[in-house]
Structure 1
């Protein structure tokens, strides 16, 4: 790869798009194309550098390249090496986007659509998914932007991608307010994250356990915690203070996440309230209850 240091050009942005099969990579690449990016998918790795150099000789191109396990010559190590060398060479903004998804949801998507997993031609789909998760772990860890598509519909995924990668100046800030379970892992895409496990837990009330934070009875129980009112006042004040400053900074997409133990009661209630606050403040607001069963159509992508 010694020729990388000799090339010069005016490539504006390069995004390497990767992720788990079934997590939305094709949707993402179509969205990049709709946003005016030049798009290529699964070109052999040895041609990647050459393609970037050719794009760099143009008039400020923006290039999105899809890479996954089907890519000829693929290895996580080589992909990361290429990205590192491009950055060291001074290529304008180089980012790695990783599309992630819950293992059980991926299995359901493949089973219900009767699609074959690329690593499970002669074995169960679950085996192929686990093998792919292992082989792509390095890319997931190194990603500049990671989007978990588990509970996103196609329009929601496209809107998030537009927030991160639009070539047009944002007309207004788009905010996603998310609830999640700490037991299932923190959402890496969160810009602001708050732990609400200090609030009293409806799980230990027999008449509330089966309900969710979208039920008024659960909300009344959570709101009865002596710390609730002060906490909400402080959070609301912080968010209303920060949002216009993010707009001034030019940020077009923001994710605010609230977590509790199971992602079913406290975080859901608080996320609902903050979603309403954001929407009533004039921003585009979207709510995602990541770990609430049935909260999203998991097969939407």
Structure 2
């Protein structure tokens, strides 16, 4: 049965639902938000989400930011969360969903280091529990506004990322993470948009440029002055601008733009730096440029 909720003005209470894979950093994210004044409730049963939100919304503005950490690994709990989120939307309550993701190898290592089993592995292996959890959460991950891959993040890196995402005040700012990567290491799982710049001549084959990276001027000049590179970047940013406007209309605040070359050292790095520089000039946009595979052999 769907609980009827009273309409709540989005400005009164900012609601963030935190979920994702076990071991991907939900607790770290919660602590980071608490450090910045969010009221955080952990392990709330999904059926109580609407009731809690309504109570907070009518607290006279004393709790303007509410984060709810939800464990929905159970197949019986997932429908309850879906129903609760539907009720929030029907009542006009604005919310965002943050889904924390991580590679299987890292999740296995974290469970082994903690000397505890995965909650869904039963009599099987940790990887069996992770596979079951991924299947249960697949639909929720696809619907989440923000999917944050914590595989390459330390505890401090994750806390910093959460701070950058959720502590902005004032008008809505669109936060863009422009990430370079190497295709040979895999496409980033949390990328909203992926661009392939392997059409640009590879500095790797130029002996004097090979030791350098796309952050060095000589490599950057070589890449950005290559035939078609400037046109690609200009057209790509022009194509993204209406997307960003749509994000604002839909109250979305975050996107990851991944730019890849073969190894993630030269072309993608130089292009990501230039794309980030140009995007930062757009109004209401905050840009963070990262290089996932820079430094790998």
Q: How high is the TM-score relative to the length of structure 2? A: 0.71
**Hey, what does 2:41 align to over in structure 1?**
40
Cα–Cα, structure 1 residues 117 and 268, in superposed 2: closer, same or farther, change >3 Å?
farther
What secondary structure sits across from 1:119 in the alignment?
coil
**Separation (CA, whole Å) in 2 of partners of 1:289 and 1:128:** 31
**Hey, what does 1:81 align to over in structure 2?**
83
What secondary structure sits across from 2:51 in the alignment?
helix
CA positional deviation for 1:274: 5.3
1:164 pairs with 2:185: no
CA positional deviation for 1:219: 6.5
Pairwise CA RMSD: 4.4
Cα–Cα, structure 1 residues 122 and 284, in superposed 2: closer, same or farther, change >3 Å?
same
How does 1:1-301 map onto structure 2 within 5 Å?
A: 1-2=1-2, 4-5=3-4, 7=6, 12-60=13-61, 61=63, 62-69=65-72, 74-90=76-92, 92-120=93-121, 122-166=123-167, 168-169=169-170, 176-181=177-182, 184-185=186-187, 188-190=190-192, 194-201=195-202, 213=213, 222=223, 225-228=226-229, 231=232, 234=234, 255-260=256-261, 263=264, 265-272=266-273, 286-291=288-293
**Separation (CA, whole Å) in 1 of partners of 2:41 and 2:95:** 15
What secondary structure sits across from 1:98 in the alignment?
strand
Q: Deviations along 1:6-42, whole A, 9 cap, x unmatched?
A: 5455652222110011211111111222222221111
Cα–Cα, structure 1 residues 89 and 101, in superposed 2: closer, same or farther, change >3 Å?
same
What secondary structure sits across from 1:5 in the alignment?
coil
Matched-pair contact (CA < 8 Å) for 1:96–1:145: yes
Q: How high is the TM-score relative to the length of structure 1? A: 0.70
Q: Deviations along 1:223-278, whole A, 9 cap, x unmatched?
A: 6843346556x48997xx99xx9xxx999866443123554553234335656788
What secondary structure sits across from 1:136 in the alignment?
helix
Q: Deviations along 1:156-206, whole A, 9 cap, x unmatched?
A: 333332333226338x9876431135673455454x753313213468x59
**Separation (CA, whole Å) in 2 of partners of 1:117 and 1:292:** 32
Matched-pair contact (CA < 8 Å) for 1:36–1:167: no
**Hey, what does 1:299 align to over in structure 2?**
none
Matched-pair contact (CA < 8 Å) for 1:98–1:140: yes
**Separation (CA, whole Å) in 2 of partners of 1:225 and 1:139:** 42
Out of 101-110 and 175-184, give the one that drifted further: 175-184
**Separation (CA, whole Å) in 1 of partners of 2:54 and 2:232:** 52
The runs of 5 or more residues in structure 1 that have no matched partner are 296-301
